[in-house]
Amino acid sequence: MNILVIGSGGREHALCWKINKSNKVKKIYCAPGNGGTLEVAENVDIASNDIDTLLEFALNNKIDLTIVGPEEPLALGIVDKFKENNLKIFGPNKKSSQLESSKEFSKKFMRKYNIPTAKYKAFLEYDEAVKGIKEFTYPLVIKADGLCLGKGVVICENETEALNTLKDILEKKIYGKEGEKVIIEEFLEGTEASLLCFVSGNDIIPMESARDYKKIFDGDKGLNTGGIGAYSPNELFTDELNNKIGKEVLKKISRGLKEEELEYNGILFIGFMVEEADIKVLEFNVRFGDPETEVLMPRLKSDLIDIFEKTIDNKIAENDLLWSNNSCVTVVTTSKGYPKQYKKELPITGTQDINKSLILFHNGTKYNNRDLVTNGGRVLSITSLESNRAEAREKIYEEISKIYYNGMYFRKDIAYK
């Protein structure tokens, strides 16, 4: 089979890495890819949101299966367009993708189908939003309604921060049209947890659990990021919690998908807040999480292409997913200044020197001639699969200092708790 993977991050490198292990695969293309995907795929210089050019490429190169990594092309309707041209593609359609592309859509969905989540209100106008914050206590959460590359969520500790955030989004338009509406939510206490699921004909098959780290600094301090570390499995997911999630969340989501006639096929990422026996849904994403993908793919023993095909054909069953009992950890290195402004094209050295038992997924890299350089805020995901989390974590931290680029930063407390 000829496979096309769309995207350029660590998620896409991990998917290409896993797809490359399938006996069904003849050729992998990655559009646009990065310095790491070159190891297992041919990079194609097409932006992930350039749907028409991607369609033309898929038709001209006889692509048998396309896998969509990022959320933007899904929200733009790439799945609908490929299907109209009789191309097989893995991902939810445009209608289903609203579960991520509009936070208000997802909150209304959760409310309608009695899925536990934080109370919220939506606002289009600054003055109305200012009045609305008085209905919440601090801290509270303000979110831009649309897609903001993981950066449209702000936890406000006081009124000054809340007013400044509302002004930034609704008046200064820092997120453009993606911030034309804001969601104000109650702040939830507890521990975040991630669950990625395959969705096949609106039926949900959960993967193994994971936990990611969103805050830029140790101790979960500082600004939110797209995720700078993760591990799997997540010890929070006991049999009791899994049963509760299945009954109170997954069954209700599946029912909602069917009643709304969303015809959902692809990935559903569910972000939870867990506090003792209480669970609430923080968010939905309609694609593989990053960096969760980097810790799930090394643990997946099944043929990923086989899983994709069964999901698309509505034939997947829970026992099709076979998992390693080992633990996987990833630590993401970032550029100085991320998640705000940062420099690109800084030379990277030492990647060849790390222990060969580690997996080095590339997030934001490219080659200038033969030189590997930075090309994003998140740069590398150093990943380890070992018999337990402590061993995996320690191996990463023993080796990570061998890698260098100017301003390289990483958290020192990933996977400790």
Residue 27, beta-bridge partner list: 2
Spatial distance between the Cα atoms of 273 and 188, rounded to a whole number of angstroms: 7
Q: What stretch(es) of the chain map to CATH 3.30.470.20?
A: 191-320
Spatial distance between the Cα atoms of 192 and 107, rounded to a whole number of angstroms: 18
Q: Provide CATH code, domain 2-93.
A: 3.40.50.20
Question: What homologous superfamily is domain 191-320 in, according to CATH?
Answer: ATP-grasp fold, B domain (3.30.470.20)
Q: What stretch(es) of the chain map to CATH 3.90.600.10?
A: 327-402
Spatial distance between the Cα atoms of 291 and 329, rounded to a whole number of angstroms: 10
CB atoms within 10 A of CB 49: 14
Spatial distance between the Cα atoms of 53 and 72, rounded to a whole number of angstroms: 15
- Average pLDDT estimate for 303-311: 97
pLDDT in tens, 124-144: 999 999 999 999 999 999 999
pTM for the complete prediction?
Answer: 0.93
The full DSSP string for 285-346 is ESS--TTHHHHHTTTB-S-HHHHHHHHHTT---GGG--B-SSEEEEEEEE-TTTTS------
Sign of the CA dihedral with 93 first, then 99, 105, and 106 last: positive
pLDDT in tens, 231-290: 999 998 989 999 999 999 999 999 999 999 998 999 999 999 988 778 999 999 999 999
In the structure, what pLDDT confidence band is assigned to residue 152 with cuts at 50, 70 and 90? Answer: confident
Q: What residue type is assigned to position 345 of the chain?
A: E
For the chain, the maximum distance between any two Cα atoms, rounded to a whole number of angstroms, is 59
Q: Provide CATH code, domain 327-402.
A: 3.90.600.10
Q: What stretch(es) of the chain map to CATH 3.40.50.20?
A: 2-93
Taking all residues of the chain, what is their mean pLDDT, rounded to a whole number? 95
In the structure, what pLDDT confidence band is assigned to residue 342 with cuts at 50, 70 and 90? Answer: very high
Q: What stretch(es) of the chain map to CATH 3.30.1490.20?
A: 119-186
Which top CATH class is 119-186?
alpha beta
Spatial distance between the Cα atoms of 187 and 204, rounded to a whole number of angstroms: 28
